[in-house]
Amino acid sequence: MSFWKNLFTPSLSTNGSGPAVANGSARRTLDGAGAAPPPPRIFLSNNRDIDLYELEELCDAVGWARRPIRKVKKAIQHSFLVVTMWREQGNYRRLIGFARATSDHTFNATVWDVVLHPDYQNKGLGKALMQRVIDDLRSQDISNITLFADPDVVGFYEHLGFNPDPDGIKGMFWYPDS
């Protein structure tokens, strides 16, 4: 095991739930004398057939509270849009980003659960992920794209064209204890 640990970054070696992790063909490539692994590529997808434990691992990495897997599954099923970001190298594929949106399919969409693995932050990938969300929603003729931003990411979304409290409109949340 230490052989593999040395070959891969810690974040990759702990990825136990991605497709085709450490399979035979990868071993052959890495065993080749001096053969370099194929260059990594990062890509976006709308395929919502996601390993939910891998998604949980991603959300753990940014410190989100855990949510029941069955509820996450249902929420993804009933989202209008799901965008995932992957890092792929040879046969290794790792989920590094995620975002989804609810919508009435016409006027409004609301973006939820935007997450990018800390190892890949501050490289423009979060912007690429959100730009894909915006492009996908616009291509489906959604007029109004909304979200609720934590204070520390308001600037990030402003750079993407989101305005906080436009015309004094307030985002509001209902709480059972109110």
CA distances from 50 to 19, 27, 41, 93 (A): 10, 25, 19, 12
31-70 footprint of a second copy as x/- string (CB under 8 A): ------------------------------------x---
Of 3, 1, 178, 11, the closest CA to residue 94 belongs to 11
Per the annotation, the verdict on 157 as an active-site residue is yes
Phi/psi of residue 166, nearest 5 degrees: -65, 135
Binders in 152-171 for a second copy, by CB under 8 A: 154, 157-158, 160-171
The answer to whether 89 and 40 have CB atoms below 8 angstroms apart is: yes
* Other Cβ atoms within 10 Å of 90 Cβ, number: 15
By C-beta, is 12 or 109 nearer to a second copy? 109
User: Least separation, in Å, of the C-beta of 63 and a second copy?
Assistant: 15
Enumerate the active-site residues: 157
The site for a second copy (CB under 8 A) is made up of: 67, 71-72, 74-80, 100, 102-108, 110, 112, 134, 138, 144-151, 154, 157-158, 160-176, 178
